[in-house]
């Protein structure tokens, strides 16, 4: 498994672009992105479980119900959610793009992100879609990664190279997400592309299985978005024998997918609104995976833990508290807690009780930008990880006037 450049254009047969079409008032901010496969690709997706769903999700789910897609178009600045004509708009955008690219409208994945309940005019798309198509390029992944951002402060993209049946394959992805992040299916918006040949059924199995241990273990603020969507396209242009069942090749594909999704999880968590620190809670010694996941997610979601990490305060009692209300069955008198970073590691709790430790050393460790909260339950062999960020003053500032 080798990390490479290129993002969503690293795989064979994909081009991308990102332009400003006028949805955002800031004319230097790209606000619409396009990813296109040279040929129809197998497609799979997972969507938010929020009962309030963006219109693009409804349209996309219908479009790829046959397991095929060829293009992904995504605008930022407006979620196209809770709009009376939202479905009509999403369908019209698909039709315009299909006409421009000479493909089928039902082969278009359409996505939106931004303010909920804001009217969305069609005119920006009428201006932007022709330009998007014109600027499609094998080097356009970076522009697409920028165009899907909202309150994000950094682009999120990655690609890897791997081998299936003697053929070199590639898998890349881009993501947006900074706030309203507490997924219960996938994530904010993630678009993945691969040139590996894999059936639509196995592609769906792969992404549905992967998100349980990646994006579903990610939280910034406890809010599940209305527009969460993760989509993957596989055009088969690497030329490997198609993956149609579980086995060695499917396992390798899952490893490649997981490498990309974990990297995107970490990037999203690190770029949480107002965040100064990436947090990872690693739980070991659990009696089963479900127990480990509950505890890891509970710790990473705790506002008190997040605040303590912001202040570089080794207040390990907050970790124990989050473990206690997680709903997992655990013997708290077996729990050990350590804090770790590039500055070292320190034991702060042993068998559910305090131990002497240097507050100065702990603070030095917690002042780093990436912190691991290590929890050993001492009750088995299962483990799990969850990702999040600290809670800062700036989170409230950003969301206090997000719309106005």
Given a cut of 50, the residues of the chain with pLDDT beneath it are: none
Length of the chain: 404
In a 13 Å sphere around the CA of 198, the CA atoms on its Cβ side amount to 32
For the chain, what percentages of helix, strand and coil (3-state, to nearest 5) are there?
Answer: 35, 30, 35
State both tokens at 184: 């219960």
Residues classed as catalytic: 187
Sheet of 370-376: strands edge to edge?
353-354, 344-350, 336-341, 370-376, 278-286, 382-389
- Residue whose entry in the numeric block shows the structure tokens 């506002």: 303
- Residue whose entry in the numeric block shows the structure tokens 């770790």: 340
The candidate with the shortest Cα–Cα distance to 379, out of 284, 292, 293, 287, is 287
What DSSP designation does 354 have?
E
Mapping DSSP to helix (H, G, I), strand (E, B) and coil, where does residue 400 land?
helix
Query: For position 187, what pLDDT does the model report?
Result: 66
Query: For position 361, what pLDDT does the model report?
Result: 98
Query: For position 192, what pLDDT does the model report?
Result: 98
The candidate with the shortest Cα–Cα distance to 11, out of 154, 210, 174, 241, is 174
315, burial (CB in 10 Å: exposed 0-12, middle 13-18, buried 19+)? middle
Q: What is the architecture of the domain spanning 2-270? A: 4-Layer Sandwich (3.60)
- Give one DSSP letter per residue of 232-277, joined into a string: EEE--TT-PPPB-SSSHHHHHHHHHHHHHHHHHHHHHHHT-TT---
In a 13 Å sphere around the CA of 119, the CA atoms on its Cβ side amount to 3
- Distances in whole angstroms, Cα of residue 142 to Cα of each of 18, 41, 136, 149, 373: 8, 21, 12, 12, 33
Parallel, antiparallel, or unpaired: how do β-strands 382-389 and 278-286 relate? antiparallel
Neighbours of 318 (CB within 10 A): 19
The Cα 56–Cα 36 span in angstroms is 17
100 CB-near residues (< 8 Å, 6+ apart): 129, 130, 132, 133
Query: For position 178, what pLDDT does the model report?
Result: 87
Task: Answer yes or no: same fold for 2-270 and 278-400.
Answer: no
- Give one DSSP letter per residue of 170-186, joined into a string: EEEEEEE-SSS---SSS
The Cα 45–Cα 49 span in angstroms is 13
- Residue whose entry in the numeric block shows the structure tokens 């965040």: 275
The Cα 32–Cα 198 span in angstroms is 29
| Domain range summary for the chain, segments of one domain joined by + | 2-270, 278-400
State both tokens at 330: 């655990």
Q: Which CATH number fits domain 278-400: 3.40.50.2000, 3.10.20.340, 3.30.70.260, 1.10.3720.10?
A: 3.10.20.340
Mapping DSSP to helix (H, G, I), strand (E, B) and coil, where does residue 7 land?
helix
- Sequence-ordered strand ranges (E) for 48-181: 68-78, 108-115, 156-164, 167-176
The Cα 246–Cα 121 span in angstroms is 45
């Amino acid at each position: 498994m080798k990390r490479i450049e290129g993002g969503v254009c690293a795989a064979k047969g994909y081009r991308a672009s990102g332009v400003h079409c006028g949805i955002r008032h800031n004319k230097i901010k790209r606000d619409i992105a396009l990813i296109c496969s040279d040929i129809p690709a197998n497609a799979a997706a997972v969507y938010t479980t929020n009962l309030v769903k963006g219109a693009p999700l409804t349209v996309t789910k219908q479009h790829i119900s046959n397991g095929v897609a060829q293009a992904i178009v995504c605008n930022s600045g407006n979620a196209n959610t809770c709009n009376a004509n939202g479905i009509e708009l999403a369908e019209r955008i698909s039709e315009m793009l299909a006409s421009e690219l000479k493909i089928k409208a039902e082969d278009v994945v359409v996505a939106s992100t931004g303010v909920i309940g804001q009217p969305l005019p069609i005119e920006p798309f009428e201006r932007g879609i022709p330009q998007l198509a014109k600027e499609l390029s094998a080097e356009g992944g970076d522009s697409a990664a920028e165009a899907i951002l909202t309150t994000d402060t950094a682009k999120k993209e990655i690609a890897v190279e791997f081998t299936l049946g003697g053929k070199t394959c590639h898998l890349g992805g881009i993501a947006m997400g900074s706030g309203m992040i507490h997924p219960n299916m996938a994530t904010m918006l993630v678009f993945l592309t691969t040139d590996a040949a894999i059936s639509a059924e196995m592609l769906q199995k792969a992404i549905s299985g992967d998100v349980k241990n990646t994006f579903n273990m990610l939280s910034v603020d406890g809010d599940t978005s209305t527009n969460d969507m993760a989509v993957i396209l596989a055009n088969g242009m690497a030329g490997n024998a198609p993956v149609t069942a579980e086995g060695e090749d499917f396992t390798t594909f899952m490893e490649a997918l997981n490498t990309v999704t974990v990297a995107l999880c970490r990037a999203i968590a690190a770029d949480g609104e107002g965040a100064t620190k990436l947090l990872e809670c690693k739980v070991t010694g659990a009696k089963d995976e479900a127990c480990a996941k509950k505890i890891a997610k509970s710790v990473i979601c705790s506002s008190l833990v997040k605040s303590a990490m912001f202040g570089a305060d080794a207040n390990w009692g907050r970790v124990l508290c989050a473990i206690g209300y997680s709903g997992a069955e655990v013997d708290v008198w077996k729990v050990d807690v350590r804090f770790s970073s590039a500055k070292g590691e320190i034991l702060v709790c042993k068998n559910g009780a305090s131990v002497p430790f240097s507050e100065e050393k702990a603070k030095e460790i917690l002042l780093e930008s990436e912190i691991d909260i290590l929890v050993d339950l001492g009750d088995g062999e299962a483990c799990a990880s969850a990702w999040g960020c600290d809670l800062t003053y700036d989170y409230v500032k950003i969301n206090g006037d997000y719309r106005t």
